[in-house]
Structure 1
């Protein structure tokens, strides 16, 4: 049986955003006060301005960390564990209510489409005191898939 070979594909910003848009499983990496990473599994999307957006609460570590140090990284995963992924580095902006309200509507739309009752959704976001983190992509790695290096796969496949 042929082995899965790891791949990397370099893309421009448009290609990156096309890759990220349908994928909503992310790992958001912020920096703790002691300089160590804080990794948060989150749902996210891409807004109309090409920023990666994540809903949160003001007291969560990711929000506090991003406000203190806006340099963040996002690992965008595919639904399948062994599907393609990409790391995006960028600058975060944290919005709190009431400034976050319209941005949270955009966040919902880019992940789930239209809400049946936007007034109800807005009221829920206000009641919950939700916040939004927007990450402007500044650099990113290639789109990657896991697997063996090509030379290792060839050696393994050549084995009887």
Structure 2
């Protein structure tokens, strides 16, 4: 028999849980969370993961800036099925997995997507022409992800059943 933990124990602050969210609730959850793990598929079928900065646009698409030569872009062009793990700033914060279909755009087609990416992360730029030129000069790409499923929003920790009621 498992011994129950008193509900006033300090471990109660680390109770696990899952909650199902709508697309609007997902957008609210992701609003300030830009630290992600992006998962693509290698040629051999195994996962390839990258730490990225990303954002959700006002239309619900996810955007990540990259370069055409990066493995994440190459993999996403070959196999558009992609997953993103969206995390908070602290290790024990809530997280959510978002699965979707990716489109990779290289410059000059990537320009509008990179503007959306910047807006998601930093707001308005003081000179959009200068920003677009810098992205073109750097040869940037953007990965645009259309979410197909997500959730639940999860939090790790001790199962609630371990605590006294």
Cα deviation, residue 48, structure 1: 2.4
SS at match of 1:58: coil
Tell me how far 1:117 sits from its aligned partner. Answer: 1.8
Is 1:2 the counterpart of 2:14? The answer is: no
For the aligned residue pairs, the C-alpha RMSD in angstroms reads 1.3
Extract unaligned runs of 5+ from structure 1: none
Which residue of 1 is the match for residue 58 of structure 2? Answer: 48
Distance 1:68 1:21 in 2: 29
Aligned length: 155
Matched, 1:87 2:91: no
Q: 1:36 aligned to 2:46?
A: yes
Displacement of 1:12 in angstroms is: 1.1
Scaled by the length of structure 2, what TM-score is found? 0.90
Q: For 1:118 and 1:73, how far apart are their aligned partners in 2? A: 30
SS at 1:116 equivalent:
coil
Q: Distance in 2 between matches of 1:21 and 1:65?
A: 27
| Secondary structure of 1:111's aligned partner | helix
Supply the distance in 2 between the matched residues of 1:72 and 1:86 (Cα, whole angstroms): 14
1:13-34: CA deviation from partner (whole Å, max 9, x where unpaired): 1111111121000000000000
CA contact (8 A) 2:66 2:142 kept: yes
TM-score, length basis structure 1: 0.93
1:26 aligns with 2:36: yes
